[in-house]
Amino acid sequence: MSNARNNLHLLWRAGFGPAVEQLNELDRYNPRQYWSALVKASEKPPTPIEVANNAIDGLVMGVQTFAELSKRELDPDQRKELQQRNRNGIRDLNSIWMSKMVNSSAQLREKMAFFWHGHFACRNLNVLYQQQLLNIIRQHALGNFGTMLKAVSRSAAMLNFLNNQQNRKDHPNENFAREVMELFTIGRGNYSESDVKEAARAFTGWTANFQGEFVFRRFQHDFGSKTVLGRSGNFEGEEVLNILLEEKKTAVYITTKLYRFLVNEIPDATHIQWLSDRFYKNGYEIGPLLEDIFTSDWFYENKHIGTRIKSPIELLAGIRRLLPMQIDDATGQLLLQRGLGQVLFYPPNVAGWPGGKTWIDSSSLMLRMRVPRLLLGEDEWNIGGKTDDDVQMGMMQRLQNRLEAKVDWMPLLSSFKKVPLEKLPAQLSDLLLQTQRAQTIALLKSYVVAADRDASIRQLTAHILSTPEYQLC
C-alpha cells in the first residue's frame, strides 16, 4: 500500500485531514515520519482560548442556574442580557475552536481534545465555565488521563451540569457519581447501585464559586465511612476517583472508546486487550497509547481505511483544511453545525454524540453532500430556529442566504498545475477520497473543462467533496 494512502488515513484519524500544502508530500514520507511530525507539532502546551470578558466574569451564572439567584440580584432585563451574552460567547468559543481545528499545526492535540469533548460531554450555558472546561481538555488531551479526569471533575461546568452543587450531606444527589462511573471511567455493568450511592456521599460538598473556581464545602460533606467497589474508608471525592483509576476496567473502557473513534467502530478484542494492558501499566499516559495505535501495522489494514463516517465537525474542518477560506459569519457556522447534527458545546446528553451511522439519515445526508457548494457560495440554504431551544441560541429566525465564505483556491490550483487535464480526475480523487468506485472516476471525467485547468480543478473538487465517498475516512 502506498505511503500516500496510509498518510491520508493517519491524517484523518489523528487530525482533521490533510492541509492543502500537504497533498504533494503524502508519498514522500512514510507514516512513522508523519506520526513523529504530528507528535512534535503538538508538544507545546496550547495557548488558552479566552472569550469570556470582564463583563461576564462578574456575573458568571449560566441560565441553567438563574433560578438560584434572587430577583434582587438580577432583574428580568439583566437576566435576558446575561443569557444573550452567554449565548454569544459560546457561539464565539465555537468559532474560535473550529478555526484552531482547521488552521493549527497541533492537529493531534486538537483532534484528541475533540474526542475528550465528546467523552466528557457537558452542556452548560455559561461561557466562562465552558471556556474553562475546553482549556482543561486541550491542556491534558495528550497528557495523563487520571490528571484530566480529576481536573474535569473539579470544573464548574461539569459540577453544575451534573447537579453536584445539590449534593449535600444527608441529601446526596447521585447524578455526578453515576456519570463519573458509567461514562467517564469503568463503564456500565461494572459497578452496583450501592457503589453509586456510596460514591455520591464522597462527592458531597464539591462545588464551585461564581468565578468557576473549585470549592470544597466541608459543612456539606459526609465524613462518614463509605464502601466503593469493595473498598472502605472515610473517602472524599478524589479518593473515589483514584479507586476508579485503580480498576483495570477503566483502562479497558477508555481504550475501547478510543479504538472505536480512531480505528474502527467494530472493536477488536485482541488489540484492545494489548492496548489497555499497556495503557494501564503506563499509568494512563495518553501519548504512549496513541503511539501504540498509530504505529501498529494493523492500523493501516484495508479494513480500517475509509470505513468510518466523518462527524459533522470533522467533515467541515476537513473541507476547510483543503480549501482555505475566511468565514466571518459565526452564526451561520453554528446553524450549519446544527443542521448536520453536531454543535460544539451542545451534546445531546451527558453520553455525548453516539457517532457512527447516527450521523446519516435521509435529510442529513442530503445536507452533508450540499455542504461543499454551500461553502463555495454555489447553493442557498434555509435552516430555521426554534424558540426556547438553547441549541438555536435563542434565535427566532431562519437563515436563508449564501454563506459568506471567501475561498482561496490558489494553493490547490498550484498543487495540480503540472498534471495533464486527462489525469486530473484520477489524481484528485486519489488524494481526496479513501474509498472509490469505478463509476465515480467515470463520472468525474465529465467535469473536466477542455483547455481550462483551473475551472476543471474547481469543478472536480466541488464534485468530489459532494460524493458519498467523501463522507468516509
Strand partners, 185: none
Q: How many CA atoms lie within 13 A of 199 on its CB side?
A: 25
Do 390 and 362 share a domain, yes or no? yes
Q: How far apart are the first and last CA of the chain?
A: 16
Contact criterion met (CB below 8 Å) for 286 and 112 = yes
Residue partners of 423: CB distance under 8 A and separation at least 6 = none
Among the candidates 354, 375, 407, a domain finishes at 407
C-alpha neighbours within 13 Å on the C-beta side of residue 401 = 11
Q: In terms of domains, do 403 and 316 share one?
A: yes
156 within a domain of the structure (yes/no): no
Cell numbers standing for residue 153: 471533575
Max Cα-Cα span within the chain? 82
pTM of full prediction above 0.85: yes
For residues 137 and 380, give the distance between their C-alpha atoms in angstroms, rounded to a whole number. 36
Q: Are residues 337 and 388 in the same domain?
A: yes
Instruction: Quickly count: other Cβ atoms within 10 Å of residue 181's Cβ.
Output: 24
Q: How many CB atoms lie within 10 A of CB 285?
A: 18
Nearest-angstrom CA–CA distance, 432 and 418: 18
Residue-level pLDDT at 48? 95
- Asked if 133 contacts 214 with a C-beta cutoff of 8 angstroms, the reply is no
Instruction: Evaluate whether 253 touches 187 at the Cβ level (below 8 Å).
Output: yes
Looking at the structure of the chain, the number of domains it has is: 2
pLDDT at 450: 84
Q: How far is CA 281 from CA 250, 258, 270, 286, in A?
A: 12, 17, 17, 12
| pLDDT score at 63 | 41
Look at residue 346 and tell me if it is in a domain. Answer: yes
Torsion-angle region of residue 88: left (phi > 0), alpha (psi -120 to 50) or beta? alpha
CA distance 463 to 447: 8
Residue 98 lies in a domain: no
User: Residue 420: what pLDDT?
Assistant: 93
So what's the pLDDT on residue 387? 40
Q: Which helix or strand (DSSP H or E) is residue 277 part of?
A: helix 269-281
Mean pLDDT of each 10-residue bin along the chain, 473 residues long: 92 98 94 97 96 56 45 66 84 96 98 98 93 97 98 97 96 97 98 98 95 94 98 98 98 98 97 98 98 98 96 97 90 89 96 94 87 82 51 49 81 94 93 82 84 92 94 96
399/322 same-domain check: yes
One domain for residues 388 and 463? no
166 close to 177: Cβ distance less than 8 angstroms: no
What pLDDT was estimated at residue 390?
A: 63
Are residues 364 and 316 part of one domain?
Answer: yes
Nearest to 341 by CA among 375, 365, 307: 365
- Distance (Å, whole) CA 206 – CA 212: 12
What pLDDT was estimated at residue 76? 76
- In the prediction, which pLDDT does 439 show? 72
- Residue 260 counted as domain residue: no
Q: Which of 376, 392, 407 is the last residue of a domain?
A: 407
**Cβ–Cβ under 8 Å, residues 20 and 323:** yes
Please state the three-class secondary structure of 191-203 as a single string: CCHHHHHHHHHHC
Has residue 438 been placed in a domain? yes
- Say yes or no: 324 and 403 in one domain: yes
User: Alpha-carbon distance 126 to 363, whole Å?
Assistant: 31
Is the domain of 328 the same as that of 395? yes
Q: Is the dihedral of CA 384, 386, 389, 390 positive or negative?
A: positive
Same domain, 401 and 337: yes
What are the angstrom distances between the C-alpha of 81 and each of 51, 56, 70, 412?
17, 10, 16, 44
Distance CA(191)–CA(449), nearest Å, equals 63
Residue 76 lies in a domain: no
171 DSSP assignment: B
The reported pLDDT for the residue numbered 148 is 99
- Gyration radius of the chain's alpha carbons: 24
Predicted pLDDT of residue 381: 63
What pLDDT score does 53 carry? 63
Give the domain extent around 444: 410-471
User: Does one domain contain both 389 and 424?
Assistant: no
